[in-house]
Amino acid sequence: MKGLYSAVLASAIAGAFAAPSPVEQGPITARAAQAACATPVTLSGNPFASRSIYANKEYSKEVIAAAASMTDSALAAKASKVAQVGTFLWIDTSARISVVEENLKDVPCNQLAAFVIYDLPGRDCAAKASNGELAVGDISTYKSEYIDPIVAIFKKYPNTAIALVIEPDSLPNLVTNADKQACKDSASGYREGVAYALKQLNLPNIAMYIDAGHGGWLGWNDNLKPGAKELATVYKNAGSPKQVRGISTNVAGWNAWDLSPGEFSKATDAQWNKCQNEKIYVETFGPALKDAGMPAQAIIDTGRNAVTGLRKEWGDWCNVKGAGFGVRPTSSTGSSYADAFVWVKPGGESDGTSDTSATRYDSFCGKDDAFKPAPEAGTWNQAYFEDLVRNAKPSF
């Protein structure tokens, strides 16, 4: 990085952190941090209506480094702006808990910190790419060495608003992959673990969303009621925590919000799935959840869903080629069931490795519509990030 390009990139990065919009807030300066809430926060109603998502420091650092390594100055300028978009921070191991406090202490009162709780024993039971650190049955470690330490940190920050996505893919897997031995083995731990997390994290300043897959998963006609029952049962087993707001959908996914007809509406099996986009899904699954006795508001991950028509099948989930950053986080959704569009998956971090010899290799990451080469799940993929920037809608 030399000469004029260095100056262009420096200017772009400086601009990314200057005067952020109400929706897309950047990492907070010491001066802005002084605007933290003076009194304890109690969240009720839509937490995103009056607060934007804090741009966590971990993702911002990745993005800034990625932009700095680009040789195309125009693309680098666009890429640097991604650093100011509020994105959820994944706590996917016990070791990752070490960065939580650093991403809580500077959050101002008009923003909220956003995290993903993701470390269940036997995690990712229907795939391999995101298998976790805890073995099936190790629920005591999940409680004492993962959830409890997170709760302890959150309790130190009662004046900070926090939004949580709870255990992506876990309960949906118990609905549709109950025939897989790994999911059978993990089922009781998933249910007990999620219930424990909901109960312990039920603090006044926290809003929780239990993951509910997406329209191409629990949106199938035969999955709607069983899916609602599964989530609602765990919610009730946790004591129906007041701070559970509803569900998260399309996490790390690709589905369009309101594309009509849907991306797979012409598939031979489309007649058995009326939820051909995420809007139909949350507005169909929502009433089923209410009937089952659970809150039904939704947040939808739009981080990588800008481009449709890329997947050969609805279930293709790994590093889809040609994807682009989608609609920026906002509470303007046009649906009474949708609290906000959010970025849950940090765009640029891999979904899974394409290395067929790797222990965590999943065949979905080797499909024709999957980007290759790709590193292990959660690892930065520079080329893929650059494509997300190029294909972003709206553009940066």
Phi and psi for 114 in degrees, rounded to 5? Answer: -130, 125
Q: Which of 6-10, 37-41, 62-66, 95-99 has the lowest mean pLDDT?
A: 6-10
Range 160-186 average pLDDT: 97
Please indicate, yes or no, whether the overall pTM of this predicted structure exceeds 0.85.
Answer: yes
Range 213-232 average pLDDT: 98
pLDDT digit string (tens) for 343-380?
Answer: 999 999 999 999 999 999 999 999 999 999 999 999 99
Residue 27 has pLDDT above 80, yes or no: no
Q: Which residues contact 367 (CB under 8 A, 6 or more apart)?
A: 312, 316, 318
Range 28-56 average pLDDT: 81
Residue 188 has pLDDT above 60, yes or no: yes
Query: Terminal CA-to-CA distance of the chain, rounded, Å?
Result: 21
Q: What is the pLDDT of residue 128?
A: 82
Domain boundaries defined on the chain: 52-391
Q: What is the CATH number of domain 52-391?
A: 3.20.20.40
Q: Where do runs of H (alpha helix) occur along the chain?
A: 3-16, 30-33, 57-68, 73-81, 139-141, 148-155, 170-176, 181-200, 224-237, 278-292, 382-390
Residue found under tokens 């998502």 = 53
Range 126-152 average pLDDT: 94
User: Is 92 annotated as a binding-site member?
Assistant: yes
User: Is 217 annotated as a binding-site member?
Assistant: yes
pLDDT digit string (tens) for 236-281?
Answer: 999 999 999 999 999 999 999 999 999 999 999 999 999 999 999 9
* Cross-strand pairs, 320: 370
> How large is the C-alpha radius of gyration of the chain?
20
Report the share of the chain in percent with pLDDT over 70.
91
User: Is 376 annotated as a binding-site member?
Assistant: no
User: Is 72 annotated as a binding-site member?
Assistant: no
For residues 19 and 166, which has the higher predicted lDDT (pLDDT)? 166
Catalytic residue ranges: 124, 169, 351
Q: What is the pLDDT of residue 334?
A: 97
Q: What is the pLDDT of residue 129?
A: 77
Q: Which of 16-20, 45-49, 65-69, 98-102 has the lowest mean pLDDT?
A: 16-20
Cα separation, 351 vs 160, whole angstroms: 30
Q: What is the pLDDT of residue 3?
A: 38
Q: What is the pLDDT of residue 32?
A: 40
User: Is 380 annotated as a binding-site member?
Assistant: no
> Helix 73-81 vs helix 57-68: angle between axes, to the nearest 10 degrees?
180
User: Is 254 annotated as a binding-site member?
Assistant: no
Q: What is the pLDDT of residue 35?
A: 62
Q: What is the pLDDT of residue 298?
A: 98
Band (pLDDT 50/70/90 cuts) for residue 130 is confident
Torsion sign, CA atoms 219, 221, 225, 227: negative
User: Is 317 annotated as a binding-site member?
Assistant: yes
pLDDT digit string (tens) for 46-88?
Answer: 999 999 999 999 999 999 999 999 999 999 999 999 999 999 9
Helices (H) and strands (E) in the chain, counts: 11, 8
